[in-house]
């Protein structure tokens, strides 16, 4: 790779051991992907996981003196103070989250603890070169804003934050952003939940390809686009999609394919969506809780749930996970009060794939998120997956039919 004088100095250790480690990793990545050079990044997001390996890596860099040049927003771990009030957190888990918070603070991250930073804190403009990890984030950056990012790992995104550079390859290059497969949507995709199913159904027919959707509405909500990207990337490693008429680089089908023909055409029918729904959901029956916010709910989604439970009583506990900013706005708007009066709550800074939910292991819940159900399998949590309105109805009855 051709490095600038400054990049070579980073690699040689002039800027300290921490920056040197980060640059070494990036040069190795660049060589693997045949990148000719590095390019500057203007934004970064690190999908911290608050797990052993993640902590080992960030602490190693902190101890080597690394500091971020481009402060990254970061994913949620869990809200220790909240969960200490409602359950028991082991000493070990408490220590891990405290160390995670400290390490990311020391390295110069922006402590958003949110998995949808592209909606409220880390919003790029068209064409910007960025380094985002997190499954719902990379497709949103590429497909909704027309900014550019590869499907970074938490570690490669952190290295980019430290050096302010990323190797030039993959989705940063025009030619790799073109659509590959035309996806003709014949299913009735009418609400945010249908985009979850669509995102899960498409990778059944294609993986590692960039889909171009036609026959979808051209005014999807931000939540719909977030859901589509989260599920496509979780189920099929798809960090970029085009929706003709929505994606900035896909004003027309010809734009999306950059004048080429699609490699294949696939059709998604209502039967495909129904089939995937039946496959990913656990059996109906009594439920113990309801959980939303994987990815983190935005304010409109919180408002929707608050409206649905207004003046009613929930039979089971309900939580919405969101960012601290959205929680603050929900408090100001009275949504939190409405939710709490019904028996629900909002928890910020928290991911569902964290040990703070141990008190729900072995229990069954209801959620609108296939990603939530997928990740919690290893934690022995069961989920019936339904659209939000049906989840609320179930939470009021304590049962899904």
Q: Which residues bind ligand F3S (CB under 6 A)?
A: 75-76, 115, 136, 294-296, 321, 351-353, 371, 375
Asked if 310 and 392 count as a contact pair (C-beta separation under 8 A), the reply is no
Chain centre distance of CA 91 = 28
Q: Please, which residues have CB within 8 angstroms of residue 211's CB and are 6 or more apart in sequence?
A: 179, 180, 181, 182, 183, 202, 232, 238, 241, 242
> Can you tell me the distance from the alpha carbon of 101 to that of 179, in angstroms, rounded to the nearest whole number?
39
- Beta carbon nearer to ligand F3S, 352 or 400: 352
What's the min distance (Å) between Cβ of 234 and ligand F3S? 8
What's the min distance (Å) between Cβ of 354 and ligand F3S? 8
- Beta carbon nearer to ligand F3S, 103 or 154: 154
What's the min distance (Å) between Cβ of 245 and ligand F3S? 27
What's the min distance (Å) between Cβ of 305 and ligand F3S? 16
- Beta carbon nearer to ligand F3S, 27 or 144: 144
> Can you tell me the distance from the alpha carbon of 166 to that of 342, in angstroms, rounded to the nearest whole number?
48
- Beta carbon nearer to ligand F3S, 33 or 359: 359
What's the min distance (Å) between Cβ of 270 and ligand F3S? 26
Residue carrying the six token digits 């660049």: 30
What's the min distance (Å) between Cβ of 201 and ligand F3S? 19
- Beta carbon nearer to ligand F3S, 151 or 371: 371
User: What's the residue count for the chain?
Assistant: 401
- Beta carbon nearer to ligand F3S, 169 or 241: 241
Terminus-to-terminus CA distance in the chain, angstroms?
Answer: 59
Phi, psi (degrees; rounded to nearest 5) at 81: -65, -35
Name which of 71, 69, 56, 152 is nearest 105 in CA terms.
71
CA–CA distances in Å: residue 360 to residues 190, 355, 371, 383: 32, 10, 17, 11
């Amino acid at each position: 790779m051709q490095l600038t004088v400054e990049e070579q100095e980073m690699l040689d250790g002039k800027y300290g051991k921490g920056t040197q480690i980060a640059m070494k990793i990036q040069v190795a990545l660049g060589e693997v992907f045949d990148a000719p050079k590095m390019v500057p990044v203007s934004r970064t997001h690190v999908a911290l996981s608050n797990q052993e390996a993640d902590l080992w890596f960030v602490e190693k860099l902190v101890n080597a003196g690394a500091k971020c040049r481009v402060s990254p927003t970061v994913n949620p771990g869990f809200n220790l103070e909240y969960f200490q009030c409602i359950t028991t957190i082991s000493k070990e888990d408490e220590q891990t989250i405290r160390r995670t918070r400290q390490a990311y603070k020391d390295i110069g991250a922006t402590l958003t603890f949110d998995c949808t930073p592209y909606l409220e804190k880390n919003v790029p403009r068209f064409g910007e070169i960025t380094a985002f990890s997190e499954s719902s984030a990379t497709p949103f950056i590429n497909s909704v804003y027309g900014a550019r990012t590869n499907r970074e790992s938490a570690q490669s995104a952190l290295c980019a934050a430290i050096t302010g550079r990323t190797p030039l390859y993959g989705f940063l290059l025009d030619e790799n952003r073109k659509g590959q497969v035309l996806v003709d949507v014949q299913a009735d995709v009418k609400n945010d939940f249908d985009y979850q199913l669509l995102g899960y159904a498409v990778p059944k027919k294609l993986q590692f390809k960039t889909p171009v959707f036609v026959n979808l509405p051209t005014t999807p909500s931000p939540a719909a686009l977030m859901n589509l990207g989260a599920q496509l990337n979780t189920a099929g490693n798809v960090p970029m999609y085009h929706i003709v008429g929505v994606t900035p680089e896909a004003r027309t089908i010809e734009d999306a394919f950059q004048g080429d023909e699609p490699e294949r055409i696939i059709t998604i029918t209502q039967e495909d969506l129904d089939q995937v729904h039946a496959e990913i959901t656990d059996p109906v029956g009594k439920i113990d809780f309801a959980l939303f916010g994987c990815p983190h709910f935005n304010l409109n989604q919180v408002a929707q749930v608050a409206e649905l439970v207004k003046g009613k009583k929930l039979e089971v506990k309900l939580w919405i996970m969101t960012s601290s900013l959205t929680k603050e706005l929900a408090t100001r708007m009275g949504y939190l009060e409405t939710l709490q009066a019904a028996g629900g709550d909002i928890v910020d800074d928290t991911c569902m794939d964290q040990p703070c939910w141990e008190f729900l292991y072995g229990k069954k819940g209801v959620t609108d998120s296939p990603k939530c159900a997928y990740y919690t399998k290893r934690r022995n949590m069961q989920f019936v997956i339904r659209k939000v309105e049906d989840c609320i109805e179930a939470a009021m009855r304590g049962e899904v039919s």
